[in-house]
Structure formats: C-alpha cells, structure tokens
Amino acid sequence: MKRALIVLGLLALGLALAQKPKVVIGTGSTGGVFFYYGTALADIWNKAGVVEAQPVQTGGSYDNLLLLRDRTDPRAGTYYCALTTTDSAYVAFTGEEPRFKAKPAKDQRVLFYMYPSFIHLVTSEKSGIKVVQDLKGKRVSTGQPGSSTENLALLLLQAAGVKPESFAKRERLPVAEAAKALSEGTLDAFFWVGGLPTGSIVELSQSLARKGDRIYLVPIDPKSTTAQVALKRFPGLLDTTVVPKSVYNTRTDVPGLNTGNVLVCPESLPKEVAYGMMKATFENLQTLRSAVAAARDTSVANTAKLFGRFIVPFHPGAEEYLKEVGAIR
C-alpha cells in the first residue's frame, strides 16, 4: 500500500512537471493597442509551445500590475505578466502610486520593450479646442479610473493650469467608448495613452471625415510649461515626439509626448520559461508586427537600450537571452 502511494505520488509529480506554466497576460480595453498586442503575444507563445498563454481584457497598466502582484501563484504554476507603460511600472515599483504604497510591486521584472505610446488629446476641428486650456467648459474624458491614461492626463492638466472641475462634464471612458461618444457629439475631447495608430482613433478620424469634420490632436509644445513639468516628473521615461499627419489624417504633423511600454513578469517566473518567451517573441517578430503595427518598435536593440537605465530590473531569463544574441554584455 505504501509503495503504491509512493508510485502515485511520483506519477503526480511527473505530471505536474510536464505541465506547461500558465501565463496570463494583462492587456487593456478593446480598441486599444495593448489588447491586440497581448492577444498576438499569447498566440505566438502558444504556437511555440513555451507556455500556456491567456490574454485578459483589463483597465490597463495599473490593473495589470495589480494582477501580477496579487494573483501570481507559483505553486499552481500560474504567472500574471503585465503590459504596462514605463511610468506606471515606475510608480508601482517605488510605491508612489497610492494603490502600491502599502505593498509596492517590487517583484516585477522586465522582459522586453514593446513600443512608445503617444499621449493623445483628441478632439475635432469643429470643437474649437486648440490648446489644453480650451478644455474649460467642455465635455472631456480623462480615461478609465486609475489608469495610466488618467494619471498622465491629470498631470498634463495640472501643468497647464486646468482643473477637471472646470469641465462642463467629466467622463472616465475607455478609448473605444470615448471615440464613439466624440463621433456622436456627446463628448468634446478625450485623453488616451496608446500606440500609433490606435484603431479606435483611426475609425474616429474616418467617421468625422464622413460628417464633414476632421480629427484634431491638441499639440503639446516641447518647450511649453505643460511639457516641461511632465518631463521632469518622469525623467528618462517620457520623451518629446511628433505624430506624422498621415497617422490619423490630421491637417499637420502634431508635436507631443511619448511614454514607453514594456512587458513585465513576476520574478518567480522560472528563468528558462522567461528565456523561452523571449526567444519565441523575437524569432516571430514579423508575425507580431503583422498583427500590431506598433510592434515595429519591438526589437532587441530597443530592449537593450533600456537595460541598466530603468529602475525595474530585467528578468534573469531576459538577460540571458539578450547576452546570448550579443545585445548586452
């Protein structure tokens, strides 16, 4: 009897070892690049056979980091990885973000850099909104509650001397709902932090054009106080940029600000698993880029640039891969 129990125990152990780790990828709201990027990643990893990957729709960066911190269970072979902006990862790691003050997300580790996200302030030409200060008295969405979009929107508004209380109405919508509301005339402007192009905003541009209007991205002059305050808040994490007019069919190129995006996974994710996820991703970059236009900036070179410069450490499995391909020493 005892021998039989030992045999059964060994069989159970062997079965557990044979099972692939389950990696749940926190993405974002539908219509945003995170959602499509995470779905494409899961497909690549599943086909490569490195993990059992499952993308989940969320409110974005902070939701994803909370899932990583609170839901990862190594004993069950379940690991939550997060698509996140670099500014969100930073304040979650340091505990500066209120939701992470009591328990910072110190266990997050970077796998790779994904792409830059533009801080969009979207409106239409007919709205009359030309600068941030014109939002006073308007119906404005600042992004989903507690999202990176909302935090960066509030930072820019504060820097521009605009209080949300000055809006005729404040909404807190995900990008697809905000774009629909602006198209239908129930919203005047909305903030969105996302990759270029964001599908919902492309659709909005087309919708406005059919109505004889045109999309307008409110510019943020790199030399303005608004830009300078934001850049000082996240040194090295926010950058100035220009969105070509071809992206959303705006009348001109638009200056503004970018934040980076990274994939982070828990430190407890086994080294060989993280290595396998890196290898599968970079050996299937063309597949990823075909699925998500923003992934054109996903590369070993861009990942290596972040190594050693970011407060959040890299995962040992990611380090091993980067050293193997000669990207870092």
The pTM (predicted TM-score) of the whole model is 0.86
Rounded Cα–Cα distance for residues 68 and 83 (Å) = 10
**Could you tell me the domains of the chain?**
22-115+261-325 (3.40.190.10), 117-260 (3.40.190.10)
* Integer CA distances (angstroms), 299 to 72, 118, 285, 309, in order: 27, 18, 8, 17
Token pair 């749940």 in the structure block, residue:
24
| Angle (nearest 5°) at CA 298 between 292 and 299 | 145
Q: What is the pLDDT along the chain (329 residues), one digit of tens a residue?
A: 555 445 444 444 444 445 899 999 999 988 889 999 999 999 999 999 999 999 999 999 999 999 999 999 999 999 999 999 999 999 999 999 999 999 999 999 999 999 999 999 999 999 999 999 999 999 999 999 888 999 999 999 999 999 999 999 999 999 999 999 999 999 999 999 999 999 999 999 999 999 999 999 999 999 999 999 999 999 889 999 999 999 999 999 999 999 999 999 999 999 999 999 999 999 999 999 999 999 999 999 999 999 999 999 999 999 999 999 999 99
Token reading at 177: 């709902």
Strands 238-243 and 189-194: unpaired
Please check whether residue 12 is in contact with residue 180, taking contact to mean a CB–CB distance below 8 angstroms.
no
Q: Are 88 and 149 in contact (CB under 8 A)?
A: no
| Burial of 171: CB neighbours in 10 Å, binned 0-12, 13-18, 19+ | middle
Q: Which amino acid is at 233?
A: R
Task: Label residue 320 exposed, middle or buried (CB < 10 Å: 0-12, 13-18, 19+).
Answer: middle
